[in-house]
Amino acid sequence: MIAERTLDGRHALVTGAGSGIGAAIVTRLALAGARVTLAGRREAPLRALSERLGPDTRVAAGFDVTDPAAVAAGVAAARDAFGPVSILVNNAGEAPSAPFEKTGGDLWAKVLSVDLTGVFNVTQAALPDIRAGGAGGRIVNVASTAGLVGYAYVTAYCAAKHGVVGLTRALALELARTGVTVNAVCPGFTDTPIIAEAVERLVAKTGRTREEALREFTRANPQGRLVSPEEVADAVFWLASPAASAITGQAVAVAGGEVMAG
Would you please indicate which residues are annotated as catalytic (active-site) residues? 157
CB distance 46 to 59 below 8 Å? yes
CB-count exposure of residue 68 (10 Å: 0-12, 13-18, 19+):
middle
CA-nearest of 257, 6, 240 to 130 is 240
CB distance 4 to 32 below 8 Å? yes
What 66-74 contacts at long range (C-beta under 8 Å, 24+ apart), as own/partner pairs, is 66/113, 66/114, 66/117, 66/118, 66/121, 67/121, 68/121, 68/124, 68/125, 71/121, 71/122, 71/125, 72/125, 74/39, 74/125
CB-count exposure of residue 188 (10 Å: 0-12, 13-18, 19+):
buried
CA atoms of 55 and 44, how far apart (whole Å): 17
CA-nearest of 88, 101, 99, 71 to 34 is 88
